[in-house]
């Protein structure tokens, strides 16, 4: 079984488990129902991939986000800067594991026109508790689900870069051990 099939199977199993545990009743699915659910998932996944491909390289017309401290960030206020947006949530182990690397990456670019935003799916209260134990030096954006859906984020963690003109670039590979090196190269390229 290749990696993509394994990930697809795990996601499907996880989704089914959530559905079953929410109902608090055991439901059996027929082979046909399972096949239909898998087919629907694959269709959605392919559509989202096509949507990301269409979005990649487009210039944003509008962006207004509020950080955990109540500061407003707009496309206008970010123009002329390279913006890394890291999409994550607090119960995502790979997301939490890359926090020290992202903190280090931010330090490397501290004197450059680079803005680091950590777009979390979680609310402010949960993030405040989490951040007490896990220092995260990026600007934290709580309740980022709408932004994640707008950018068609397929999994977490996931990284998006806006170049100095506000053009969107996807940079992610959840299975990459060198994601911070890729981010560093891409940021340097956009700073030129």
d(C-alpha 158, C-alpha 170), whole Å: 8
pLDDT of residue 16 exceeding 80: no
**What does pLDDT average to over the chain?**
84
pLDDT of residue 9 exceeding 60: no
Name the residue ranges covered by the structural domains of the chain.
3-55, 64-191
| Residue range 132-168, pLDDT digits in tens | 999 999 999 999 999 999 988 888 999 999 999 999 8
Residue listed under structure tokens 């913006």? 83
Q: What is the CA radius of gyration of the chain?
A: 18
Distances (CA, A) of 52 to 46, 48, 105, 172: 10, 6, 25, 12
Q: What is the dihedral of CA 92, 98, 102, 103, to 10 degrees?
A: 90
Fold of 64-191: Glutaredoxin (3.40.30)
pLDDT recorded at residue 175: 54
Give the single-character DSSP code of 60.
Answer: P
The answer to whether residues 85 and 160 touch, using CB atoms and an 8 Å cutoff, is yes
pLDDT recorded at residue 59: 80
pLDDT of residue 177 exceeding 70: no
Which residues lie below 8 Å from residue 109, measured CB to CB, with a gap of 6+?
116, 187
pLDDT of residue 176 exceeding 60: no
Output 31 or 114, whichever has higher pLDDT.
Answer: 114
Q: What is the pLDDT confidence band of residue 74, given thresholds at 50, 70 and 90?
A: very high
What proportion of the chain, given as a percentage, has pLDDT over 90? 55
């Amino acid at each position: 079984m290749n990696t993509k099939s394994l990930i697809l199977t795990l996601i499907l199993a996880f989704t089914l488990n959530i559905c079953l545990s929410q109902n608090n009743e055991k439901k059996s699915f027929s082979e046909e129902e399972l096949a239909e659910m898998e087919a629907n998932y694959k269709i959605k996944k392919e559509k989202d991939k096509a949507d990301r491909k269409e979005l990649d390289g487009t210039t944003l017309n509008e962006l207004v986000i509020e950080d955990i401290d109540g500061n407003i960030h707009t496309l206008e206020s970010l123009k002329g800067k390279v913006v890394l947006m890291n999409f994550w949530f607090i119960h995502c182990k790979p997301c939490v594991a890359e926090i020290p690397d992202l903190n280090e990456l931010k330090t490397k670019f501290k004197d450059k026109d680079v803005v680091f935003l950590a777009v979390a799916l979680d609310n402010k209260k949960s993030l405040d508790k989490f951040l007490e134990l896990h220092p995260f030096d990026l600007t934290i954006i709580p309740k980022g689900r709408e932004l994640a859906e707008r950018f068609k984020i397929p999994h977490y963690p996931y990284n998006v870069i806006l170049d100095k003109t506000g053009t969107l670039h996807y940079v992610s590979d959840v299975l990459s051990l060198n994601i911070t090196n890729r981010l560093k190269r891409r940021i340097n390229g956009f700073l030129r």
